[in-house]
Structure 1
Amino acid sequence: MRDFADRLKRILVGRPVPSQALGETLLPKRIALPVFASDALSSVGYAPDEVLITLAVAGVAATALSPWIALAVVGVLVVVVASYRQTVHAYPSGGGDYEVVSTNLGPHAGLLVASALLSDYVLTVAVSVSSGTGYLAAAVPGLAPYKVSIAVGVVTVLAVLNLRGSRESGSAFAIPTYLYMAAIGITAVTGLVQELTGTLGRAASSGYQIAVDADWDRGLTGLAGAFLILRAFSSGCAALTGVEAISNGVPSFQRPKSRNAATTLLLLGSIAALMLMSMIHLAGATHVQMVEDPATQLLHDGEPLGGGYHQDPVIGQIAATVFSGFRPMFYLVTAVTGLILVLAANTAFNGFPVLASVLGRDEFLPRQLSQRGDRLAYSNGIIVLWLGAVAFIVGFGANTNRLIQLYIVGVFISFTLSQIGMVRHWTRELTTATDPRARARMQRSRLINAVGVVGTGTVLIIVLATKFTRGAWITLTIMALLYLVMNRIRRHYRRVSAELAISDLHDARVLPAHVHAIVLASRLHRPTLRALTYAQSTHPTSIEAVTVDTGDGGADRLLDAWEEAELPVPLTILDSPFRDITRPIISYVRSVRRESPRDLVVVFLPEYLVRHWWEQILHNQTALRLKTALLFTPGVVMASVPWQLGLPGERLIHHGVRATAPTGIADADAAARAADAVRLAPADDGAGGAGTGGTP
């Protein structure tokens, strides 16, 4: 079974990579851009939809505000990109927001940011993959019932690709990402040219009317109108998610790491802003109509369209209008947009494991998350992210509209606290800097981060106000739970370190007063003889064999064989009127320990090593229960003595060392009597009987 698992792992993940090859896995800018930017760029695939759908409840006239909302989103994007360019230079270690906040605002604030980022990474995968599979289900309606299964399968494929290493996954995702950028760029340029020449057509949905919600029959007047605009703005700010991934992934860049990360961040912001503005503008120019429930909210001649109408996403409607005379281009735009939404999850697969490794190093998460796998990827972090994303996808039925409400609140918490931390960082640096040019640079950076505090803080307030009751409370609850769990993990590690620390070197040389060896036996056979031999080779102060009498005659047969073999080790028989095997042994071992608290009790347990995985359930069940129970008994050590079944020539030999029979089997006749006793003993069915039952 183990060999099969290893072969399967090598097929899926590839051969191990030596540690000295770590530099070969670092990413150049041309690969880092699609790896880290796909999340922010892919938001163009759904951010325009969310803005238009939100405004549509107030009627067609309200959607005219969408370009201004997009402009406000781009303004925040510019501020965030400029702010994070300062972060990647000041903190290039890969801790990102977590390191910035922990260093400047304290560990509790840092842990809050970490919980926000971890939850947001998981939601990034769930939202992106669910949205991408939504495109597939729209194109092939027959696949709609299997949307959840498809989404889970896609996340699994992404996890496997990332387990192979960031360079291989980046190369695999580079071509689709660049195709997506080219397709959106061609669509934008072609649409703008058609608009300027007066040849731009209207979207297929432009002929429909929007049924205005009764609460919005007066349009966007009053406080309610302002609240709706803010809600649309907060939905559009989904375009900013993913920007922080670059600050967390600086260690993955080729040298000079900070400069390459800052350049990639600038490219990301510029491309995302142009794409978002162009799509929002063309949506208005082609009169695209988007509503939350097209069956009832879209009207034709005053009548609802009904459930037979399928509402294409904004980019799909724009591409169908712009390329109405050239359908292959329409299919290309639709295909690469759906694909990039799926691949956007790869940003989280690069950011989450790095952040989890930093938290593992700081002992806020299990230390295993800080270790690289045999492909130099943080394999444990990738697997944890995969499990979390699958849980959200299955729990929310891969419904993008439901998942999107949980989105972005976490990332704006980290944005805001990070910018506050950067302001404090530059303020502290200015107190010691004396070079005028360096001080001028620091003051400029502090001003940029101060503007970032205002911008991201305002968006955070808007997001909390407009999305809390629509699902953001779930994200906040998850963040609180993560915060508490990570605090508990940190306390556990600290308590363990304090308990294991050597306060006096003299304590390290203290030995137990005596060592009492107990060999568990169910029958007298070769595994039992090996266990006795191993026990005697440790030269304990005292030694005894122990079996349990369950009333089936097995203990009497063992005693007869024991006496006939003239073994010098005394055999203790424990009575069990209720036929329980494990409890009498546990009680006896603990009683020995209580009688001599300074003594060490070593329990030698013969066990079978089976050849096939399914044979394991036929043996060693009692051994497992005994080890589990005695593991928590102070002063007791469990020593497993293996006997490999089915190995040709297996005798009292293990790992090349020949074990002799215990002293007392002094001649060939005694050894023959012991062998006869083995043959005469009843067969062990692996499920019960005298002694240790499931053990040999």
Structure 2
Amino acid sequence: MPTLSDLGHLPKRLVLGRAVRSDRLGESLLPKRYALPIFASDPLSSVAYATQEILIVLTLAGTAYLFLTPWLAALVVVLLGVLVLSYRQVVRAYPSGGGDYEVARQNHGPFAALVVASALLVDYVLTVAVSVSAGTDNIISAFPELAEHRVAIAVGLVGLLAALNLRGLRESGRAFAVPTYLFVTAILLMVATGLVRYFVTDAGLVAESAAYGVEPAPGYGEMGALALVLLALRAFASGCTALTGVEAIANGVPAFKPPKSRNAATTLTWMGGIAAVMFLGVSSLALLADVKYVEDACELTGFADCETEPQRTVIAQLAAATFGGDTSVGFFAVQAGTALVLILAANTAFNGFPLLGSVLAQDRYMPRQLHTRGDKLAYSNGILLLAGFAMLLIVAFDADVSRLVQLYIVGVFTAFTIGQWGMVRHWNRERSLESDPAVLARIRRSQAINLVGGTITSVVLVIIVVTKFTHGAWLVLVSMPLLIGLMKAIHRHYSNVSAQLVPDAETRMLPSKVHAVVLVSKVHKPTLRALAFARATRPDELTALTVNVDDAEVRALQADWERYDIPVPLTVLESPFREVTRPVVDFVKSIRRNSPRELVVVFVPQYVVGHWWENVLHNQSALRLRARLQFQPGVMITTVPWQLQSSIGRDAREDRSAPGDLRRGYTDDVDATPYG
């Protein structure tokens, strides 16, 4: 029959499944077919909203400049190719994981590494918020009646993603593979069908928004050459959202099956090629179908119900135009694939954030708990932390993609830039150590690739900061220094603690003598056992101690003490204000004050109960006392347990708990004590 403890663990087991032994870690390593959907779902899925973000910016000036869409998309694809080539060098040079953080730490020093870490941590949180919000938009495009539940749907989806990732890499890989490949197939089929429909058949390709007009925003009506350049640069910066997540494969090299570096480099190439084809295809179709998309639907002239009816996403409009309306099988297939992959694209962050957190924890810039693997060998604490921050962002920004995306990509391009220049330094160092002409030629080629990558990403970073600063990017630029300060404070704390714990002569010195103090509330079995244990340690002095908070009870205790002929004198501390903790602490302090080298061992009798509700039926004064005593130097606290009938057999039941439960706090610690 299941116990209360078993039932308490049931929800955890339903979410996570059975715990996995540490020696099975190698079984969770990923083949390329699973690594692609896990680590590359973010850049692949960004096809669903990157073109849309370009259109939002260009339509600020009306529809006259929408012809720039495919050209800007082509520039983004060129940048994608440069980044793929650059990160192929990173995964080969630094196969231990850590990506740009590791590159910066090795080549620029700790501060640059912290800048990269803060940028990536912020961007991972935004990746989850933006991807899930965009996925929610596509769900609403198919089912407009769900629009009022936007935030609740997005938050629930983040919770579901966290649960899937807590089950471990291999199981989440299977969960994400099918939707990712479905999305890629659906988009490629839509692009091919749309191009055939436009160029080969007479059916035409007309989006539902083609007939709408767009009034230029104030100040964008008549633009000079400089204003047009700034508009194009801002649209290009928005389109660069297609590049987020490229670095995730470099961060996740340790999760690949051997040969790790080669498999990671191959997966990077697959990701770049697929993303480039899809992004160019969607951007071209959007131009051919005359898609209009604005930040606020009421900016579309001719949109009858802009106040109540949500504007369909660009992907939804293209699917309807390509497959013959919003009731066709093709439309729902594209929408289903897009919604699923956008939601699951957050998995890139759910893998990158915990891995980076683990590396930072190992370097003592984050709490050590982030370096601990959970029941399914995933970094559970990092997953939960990421999910919590993403949910806060979604609630704060009402799951609005257009608002969230303004915060996006500043962090990731900061990491790109620092990482690429770090690789240039890395190859300089390698060149100085190498004399083989063939190897030197390869090093020069790799350095040239990273030099080009660093130059281009630096320019793009400046463009992004300038064009997005007043639109929300300032929040990221403020958050990053705060994170850096927090990480430095954590590192300083760990360093101070390490310095304090270095063994010295004083810590190896034996105490001059041992003074045992047994806390007494009444004469019963737990007290007598504590006294017996204290006597068995053969202390130099032994004191049985009680506090007088009630004269009648103390007189009864003294009478019992004499009646049982206990061979230890009973010391009574007076407490006119009926306090227990302060008189005992003062008594212990007085012993240490009179003899600083004396060790004081305080024995505390304790009930061990079998049911959680029994804890509240006993006085908690000894808990407060232990909490105070632990801050006193030269004092040890020894708990003497007394098992009540309800606890009999509890150890056998607890043996069925999962490995690591005690370490993570899944245990029924006893709070009640018979003292006080």
In structure 2, give the amino acid aligned to 1:319: A
Residue-by-residue CA offset, 1:502-525 (whole Å, 9 max, x unaligned): 245xx5642111111111122222
Residues 581 and 693 of structure 1 are in contact (CA less than 8 Å); yes or no, is this contact kept in structure 2? Answer: no
Cα distance in 2 for partners of 1:126, 1:244 equals 18
Is 1:205 paired with 2:206? no
Cα distance in 1 for partners of 2:341, 2:562 equals 77
The residue aligned with 1:70 is 73
| 2:294 aligns with one of 279, 284, 291 | 291
Residue-by-residue CA offset, 1:126-158 (whole Å, 9 max, x unaligned): 211122123234433443343333322222221
Cα distance in 2 for partners of 1:136, 1:88 equals 36
Matches within 5 A, 1:104-123: 104-123=107-126
Cα distance in 1 for partners of 2:464, 2:397 equals 21
Structure 1 pair 128–649 and aligned structure 2 pair: CA distance change class (3 A): closer
Structure 1 pair 576–199 and aligned structure 2 pair: CA distance change class (3 A): same
Residues 607 and 673 of structure 2 are in contact (CA less than 8 Å); yes or no, is this contact kept in structure 1? Answer: no
Residue-by-residue CA offset, 1:636-690 (whole Å, 9 max, x unaligned): 111122223333789xxxxxxxxxxxxxxxxxxxxxxxxxxxxxxxxxxx99xxx
**Larger deviation: 558-567 or 425-434?**
558-567
Secondary structure of residue in 1 paired with 2:219: helix
Q: CA RMSD in A?
A: 2.2
The residue aligned with 1:461 is 462
Is 1:258 paired with 2:261? yes
Matches within 5 A, 1:610-621: 610-619=609-618, 621=620
Residue-by-residue CA offset, 1:408-430 (whole Å, 9 max, x unaligned): 11111000000000000001111
Structure 1 pair 635–503 and aligned structure 2 pair: CA distance change class (3 A): closer
Residue-by-residue CA offset, 1:482-534 (whole Å, 9 max, x unaligned): 21111122122222222212245xx5642111111111122222221222122
| 2:164 aligns with one of 161, 164, 171 | 161
Residue-by-residue CA offset, 1:445-467 (whole Å, 9 max, x unaligned): 11100111111111111111122
Residue-by-residue CA offset, 1:251-278 (whole Å, 9 max, x unaligned): 1111111111001001111111111111
**Larger deviation: 134-143 or 538-547?**
134-143
Is 1:61 paired with 2:75? no
Structure 1 pair 142–560 and aligned structure 2 pair: CA distance change class (3 A): farther
In structure 1, give the amino acid aligned to 2:300: L
In structure 1, give the amino acid aligned to 2:520: A
In structure 2, give the amino acid aligned to 1:327: S
Cα distance in 1 for partners of 2:6, 2:253 equals 37
Cα distance in 1 for partners of 2:576, 2:73 equals 80
Cα distance in 2 for partners of 1:417, 1:76 equals 16
Residue-by-residue CA offset, 1:534-568 (whole Å, 9 max, x unaligned): 22222211111222222363222222222222212
The residue aligned with 1:660 is none
Structure 1 pair 149–617 and aligned structure 2 pair: CA distance change class (3 A): farther
Residues 610 and 647 of structure 2 are in contact (CA less than 8 Å); yes or no, is this contact kept in structure 1? Answer: no
Cα distance in 2 for partners of 1:319, 1:138 equals 11
Residues 298 and 305 of structure 1 are in contact (CA less than 8 Å); yes or no, is this contact kept in structure 2? Answer: no
Matches within 5 A, 1:523-602: 523-551=522-550, 553-602=552-601
Is 1:52 paired with 2:55? yes
Cα distance in 1 for partners of 2:612, 2:673 equals 20
TM-score (norm: length of structure 1)? 0.90
Residue 91 of structure 1: CA displacement?
0.4
The residue aligned with 2:604 is 605
Residue 305 of structure 1: CA displacement?
5.1
Structure 1 pair 394–612 and aligned structure 2 pair: CA distance change class (3 A): farther
Secondary structure of residue in 2 paired with 1:608: strand
The residue aligned with 2:402 is 401
The residue aligned with 1:249 is 252
**Larger deviation: 383-392 or 599-608?**
383-392
The residue aligned with 2:332 is 331
Cα distance in 2 for partners of 1:614, 1:389 equals 36
The residue aligned with 2:315 is 315
The residue aligned with 2:231 is 228
The residue aligned with 1:360 is 361
Cα distance in 1 for partners of 2:579, 2:149 equals 50
Residue 29 of structure 1: CA displacement?
0.7
In structure 2, give the amino acid aligned to 1:217: G
Matches within 5 A, 1:395-434: 395-434=396-435
Residue 105 of structure 1: CA displacement?
0.5
Residues 299 and 305 of structure 1 are in contact (CA less than 8 Å); yes or no, is this contact kept in structure 2? Answer: no
Identity %: 53
Residues 622 and 694 of structure 1 are in contact (CA less than 8 Å); yes or no, is this contact kept in structure 2? Answer: no
Cα distance in 2 for partners of 1:146, 1:644 equals 52
Structure 1 pair 401–572 and aligned structure 2 pair: CA distance change class (3 A): farther
Residues 421 and 450 of structure 2 are in contact (CA less than 8 Å); yes or no, is this contact kept in structure 1? Answer: yes
Residues 32 and 264 of structure 1 are in contact (CA less than 8 Å); yes or no, is this contact kept in structure 2? Answer: yes
**Larger deviation: 109-118 or 175-184?**
109-118
Residues 619 and 695 of structure 1 are in contact (CA less than 8 Å); yes or no, is this contact kept in structure 2? Answer: no
**Larger deviation: 9-18 or 625-634?**
9-18
The residue aligned with 2:661 is none
Cα distance in 1 for partners of 2:76, 2:221 equals 27
Cα distance in 1 for partners of 2:306, 2:17 equals 51
TM-score (norm: length of structure 2)? 0.92
Cα distance in 1 for partners of 2:212, 2:295 equals 14
The residue aligned with 2:130 is 127
Cα distance in 2 for partners of 1:645, 1:395 equals 50
**Larger deviation: 207-216 or 139-148?**
139-148
In structure 2, give the amino acid aligned to 1:70: A
The residue aligned with 2:622 is 623
Secondary structure of residue in 1 paired with 2:64: helix
Secondary structure of residue in 2 paired with 1:61: coil
Is 1:481 paired with 2:482? yes
Is 1:515 paired with 2:518? no
| 2:154 aligns with one of 151, 154, 157 | 151
In structure 2, give the amino acid aligned to 1:322: T
**Larger deviation: 399-408 or 37-46?**
399-408
The residue aligned with 2:495 is 494
Residue-by-residue CA offset, 1:593-618 (whole Å, 9 max, x unaligned): 21211011111112222322233333
**Larger deviation: 266-275 or 536-545?**
536-545
Cα distance in 1 for partners of 2:622, 2:347 equals 44
In structure 2, give the amino acid aligned to 1:298: L
Secondary structure of residue in 2 paired with 1:478: helix
Structure 1 pair 644–140 and aligned structure 2 pair: CA distance change class (3 A): farther
Cα distance in 2 for partners of 1:627, 1:396 equals 45
Structure 1 pair 536–200 and aligned structure 2 pair: CA distance change class (3 A): farther
Secondary structure of residue in 2 paired with 1:34: helix
Residues 25 and 377 of structure 2 are in contact (CA less than 8 Å); yes or no, is this contact kept in structure 1? Answer: yes
Secondary structure of residue in 1 paired with 2:577: coil
Residue-by-residue CA offset, 1:342-369 (whole Å, 9 max, x unaligned): 0001111111111111111111112222
Cα distance in 2 for partners of 1:618, 1:469 equals 59
Instruction: List gaps (5 residues or longer) in structure 2.
Output: 650-669
